[in-house]
């Protein structure tokens, strides 16, 4: 794994954003895997600014988001679809019909796994952006998730519910389930860029680099991928 240590979230956003822009400029129909949470916000801010300053064309870009809360529709302000529209899609010239977020109203795993078929039908993901949970989850693949998992409905751990409560008015409002691309779905991406900022991510980053692939720390599966770049600030890298 390639490791880049940056001085700030802002710098991390520039480094990650430039990797995405290089792909967009050099590929005729790029397919991006995107993430939500606080971590990718600096990347999206940078992408919006560059796209406007340099008139970057997103009309041929397709995107797939990693996950969505079960029960939250696209119009819900805490849904990941709403987040993506607000933080990125509304500010660039992407065709929203080419932006995919798992459906928060999915009822069965059979339905959920169709998301992987959709990704395949678009040629697979060229570049997947990831954040990381304090417990090492990627997407919403919590500890114990099979390395063979595909997109499915998953239970969130109390640690994740606690960590994500800051986005909701009340901890009880945090959905207990999500639909998430599986670990296998993520590993199918041709290139992966993982971002982590802050001391609260230091243990997960330490385990990502130091543990052999283990179900206890889902992120460690990335050691089995041949093109992963990890962008961390000094706090997230502090236990390395
Ligand atoms: C969330 C998301 C992940 C995200 C992670 C970290 O629960 N499902 O995709 O990477 O947790 O979130 P944050 O970037 O806000 O720390």
Return the ligand 1 atom nearest residue 131 CA: 10
From the CA of 106, how far away is ligand 1's center (Å)?
Answer: 20
The pLDDT assigned to 30 comes to 98
Judge if the beta carbon of residue 38 lies within 6 A of ligand 1. Answer: yes
> Residues 192, 130: contact at Cβ < 8 Å?
yes
Tokens of 70: 């079960």
> Residue 151 is part of a domain; what is its CATH number?
3.40.50.1360
**Residue 195, strand partner residues:** 231
Judge if the beta carbon of residue 208 lies within 6 A of ligand 1. Answer: no
Catalytic machinery residues: 67, 135, 137, 142
Judge if the beta carbon of residue 65 lies within 6 A of ligand 1. Answer: no
Residue nearest to atom 10 of ligand 1 (CA): 131
Phi first, then psi, for residue 186 (nearest 5°) are: -65, -45
Q: Which residues contact 153 (CB under 8 A, 6 or more apart)?
A: 70, 106, 108, 109, 112, 177, 178, 179
> Residues 213, 223: contact at Cβ < 8 Å?
yes
Contacts within 8 Å (CB) and 24+ apart, 207-215: 207/136, 208/1, 208/132, 208/136, 209/1, 209/3, 209/240, 213/147, 215/143, 215/144, 215/145, 215/146, 215/147
Question: What are the residue ranges in the chain where pLDDT is below 70?
Answer: none
The pLDDT assigned to 125 comes to 98
Q: Note the pTM of the prediction, 2 decimals.
A: 0.97
User: In 3-state terms, what secondary structure has residue 51?
Assistant: helix
The pLDDT assigned to 44 comes to 98
**Residue 66, strand partner residues:** none
Burial-class residue 167 by CB neighbours within 10 Å (0-12, 13-18, 19+): middle
Alpha-carbon distance of 100 to 201, in angstroms, equals 28
* Count of structural domains, the chain: 1
Domain extent, residue 155, equals: 2-237
The pLDDT assigned to 142 comes to 95
DSSP state of 37: S
The pLDDT assigned to 154 comes to 98
Alpha-carbon distance of 126 to 34, in angstroms, equals 11
Tens digit of pLDDT for each residue in 106-118?
999 999 999 999 9
Judge if the beta carbon of residue 135 lies within 6 A of ligand 1. Answer: no
Return the ligand 1 atom nearest residue 40 CA: 14
The pLDDT assigned to 137 comes to 96
The pLDDT assigned to 86 comes to 98
């Amino acid at each position: 794994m390639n490791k880049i240590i940056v001085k700030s979230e802002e710098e991390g956003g520039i480094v990650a954003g430039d990797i995405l822009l290089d792909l967009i400029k050099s590929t005729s129909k790029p397919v991006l895997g995107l993430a939500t949470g606080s971590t990718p916000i600096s990347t999206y801010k940078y992408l919006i600014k560059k796209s406007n300053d340099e008139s970057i064309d997103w009309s041929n870009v397709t995107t797939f988001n990693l996950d969505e809360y079960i029960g939250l529709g696209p119009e819900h302000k805490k849904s990941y679809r709403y987040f993506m529209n607000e933080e990125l899609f509304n500010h660039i010239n992407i065709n929203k019909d080419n932006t995919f977020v798992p459906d928060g109203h999915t009822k069965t795993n059979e339905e959920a796994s169709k998301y992987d078929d959709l990704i395949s039908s678009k040629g697979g993901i060229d570049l997947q952006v990831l954040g990381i949970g304090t417990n090492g989850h990627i997407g919403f693949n919590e500890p114990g998730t099979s390395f063979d998992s595909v997109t499915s409905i998953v239970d969130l751990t109390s640690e994740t519910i606690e960590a994500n409560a800051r986005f909701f008015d009340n901890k009880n409002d945090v959905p207990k389930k999500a639909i998430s691309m599986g670990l296998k779905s993520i590993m199918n991406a041709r290139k992966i860029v993982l971002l982590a900022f802050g001391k609260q991510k230091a243990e997960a980053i330490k385990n990502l680099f130091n543990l052999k692939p283990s179900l206890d720390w889902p992120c460690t599966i990335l050691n089995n991928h041949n093109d992963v770049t990890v962008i961390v600030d000094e706090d997230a890298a502090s236990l390395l």
